[in-house]
Structure 1
């Protein structure tokens, strides 16, 4: 039977909740590569509640440091509005300082992995995630206009660097198929531990809604389906109505049935919690949002001849081998480019631009 922890906490007093999470779901970290992944949707102030609060990240990093020595990396690939700005997003949110020196721009190096043929034959996943022995995911307790809620499963969407996220949005074509795509991404590298920042949550039309909710909790578990089922119940949802939870359960990734989940703590639904439309139509039928997604998927990298020094770093690091160097200037093969934008992020001269 899966177990989910629900523990009282504030941003000033997180240690008891984090200690309890590691007691309930112990991780063998000795000599291991540990990747800690917060939810960094975009650059914002911590008080906006859009990203995992830096206090939660700092508490988890501090806890991991006290355990058997391990190699720690903190990183994420921000969402649609922050491509190529990983450092800036971490700095603005306060997560850079919270990373305690372990931050790495994991968008700079990616590995091509087989994906679901109904969407894309391959996707690029940050190498630091693929090669980690232990992945600790730190989702934010939030709503989402397309998947209704974003938690343990949806946080793994940040494994994909660059505009692949927008491309999958577009290729999905409907809210239900996007739910399926989210599960397929999650399956690429299932994290080992989930610690959810529910001290201050978000309701309304997330994932960047101004409507915040004081909740005062930290959730944790080692099974994402169970964690998300508990989050859904707290939001007043029937977990079985969420397609991504049903699909994850069908794939053998866990259960959303609350009768089969042991709760460490008290599961109490939040009064009058504001939800987006259950089917995701608020985003799918929004012409402005669809135009934005399409514009992101049309972006391609191009070398600025004024700034490029022909060092070849972009060619060497392109995971899709879509770059070549004729006449001392990188050229992009559009047919091979998977819009991960690793070249833009890794360029030492910042000479790769998106057009």
Structure 2
């Protein structure tokens, strides 16, 4: 039986909640490499409720530092609006300061791993995720227009750097298949611990809705399916109707049945909580959304000759060996490019642009 913690909190008292998390879910961190992954959807202000609040990240970083880990890395690969802009997104949201010197751009180094061939034979996943001894996921309590809610399972979609996320959205072709897809990504590296920011949640047509909701909780679990089942219930959803939870349960990743979950705290359904349409079809078939995804999958890195100094950093750092200096200008071979946008991230002159 899995346990889910439901603990009252404000952003001023979140350290107390995080202490409780590690009492309930002890982690062997001494001498270990620890990866902490917040939910960084895109550049925004912390009070917009779009990303994991910096106070939650800072509290978890402080707690992990109180042990004797070999290393700590804080990072994420943001969504479509912040592709190629990890540092800027971390700075604007306040998560850079909250990382307390442990931030790393995890999009710059990725490894290729086998994937579900129904979508793609392989994907690239950030090396820091794959190689960490302990992964701590910090999801946000939010709705999602396509998956109805976004939580512990969906937060792992940020394991994938660059435009792979948009490409997989497009390949999925339907909300049902996208629900299943995010479970396949989640399975690539199942995190060890989940600490959810539910102090201020989001309702309506998330994951970037302006309709915020004061909830006043920190949730925690060592099982993503159990956590998301509790979150779904709080939102007024039947967790058994969410395909990604069904798929995860079928894969042996946990149970969405509340009878199988021990609660540490009180589970209260939020009155009149606003959720998107259950199936997600209205959002998935929205032509504007489809056009956005299509545009992101077609982005090509190109060097601005007025800014490029031919330093070669992008060529050296390209994980796919897709860049070559020709006449002192980096040129991309799109047959090899994996659209991770590392070249844009690494360029000291900010000369690489996406077109």
Task: Give the TM-score band, short-chain normalised.
Answer: over 0.9
Within 5 Å, which residues of 2 pair with 1:31-180?
31-180=31-180
Q: Look up the match of 2:346.
A: 346
Secondary structure of the residue aligned to 1:302 is: strand
Moved more, 308-317 or 215-224: 308-317
Aligned length: 355
After superposition, give the CA deviation of every residue in 1:25-53 in whole Å (9 maximum; x if it has no partner): 11111111111111011111111100001
Cα distance in 1, alignment partners of residues 307 and 121 from structure 2: 34
Cα distance in 2, alignment partners of residues 272 and 31 from structure 1: 46
Cα distance in 2, alignment partners of residues 69 and 253 from structure 1: 27
Cα distance in 1, alignment partners of residues 337 and 172 from structure 2: 19
Cα distance in 1, alignment partners of residues 42 and 67 from structure 2: 31
Within 5 Å, which residues of 2 pair with 1:9-48?
9-48=9-48
Cα distance in 1, alignment partners of residues 131 and 232 from structure 2: 31
Unaligned runs of 5+ in 1: none
Q: Which runs of 4+ in 1 moved over 4 A?
A: none
Within 5 Å, which residues of 2 pair with 1:132-281?
132-281=132-281
Q: CA deviation at 1:296?
A: 0.7
After superposition, give the CA deviation of every residue in 1:216-272 in whole Å (9 maximum; x if it has no partner): 000001111111111111111111100011111111111111111111111111111
Query: 8 Å contact 1:110–1:342 — kept in the other structure?
Result: no
Q: CA deviation at 1:78?
A: 1.1
Q: CA deviation at 1:339?
A: 1.2
Secondary structure of the residue aligned to 2:88 is: helix
Query: 8 Å contact 1:137–1:152 — kept in the other structure?
Result: yes
Cα distance in 2, alignment partners of residues 305 and 286 from structure 1: 37
Unaligned runs of 5+ in 2: none
Moved more, 210-219 or 332-341: 332-341
TM-score (norm 2): 0.97
Cα distance in 2, alignment partners of residues 265 and 204 from structure 1: 26
Aligned CA RMSD, in angstroms, stands at 1.2
Q: CA deviation at 1:303?
A: 2.2
Q: CA deviation at 1:329?
A: 2.8
Cα distance in 1, alignment partners of residues 312 and 63 from structure 2: 40
Cα distance in 1, alignment partners of residues 130 and 352 from structure 2: 26
Secondary structure of the residue aligned to 1:325 is: strand
Moved more, 298-307 or 310-319: 310-319
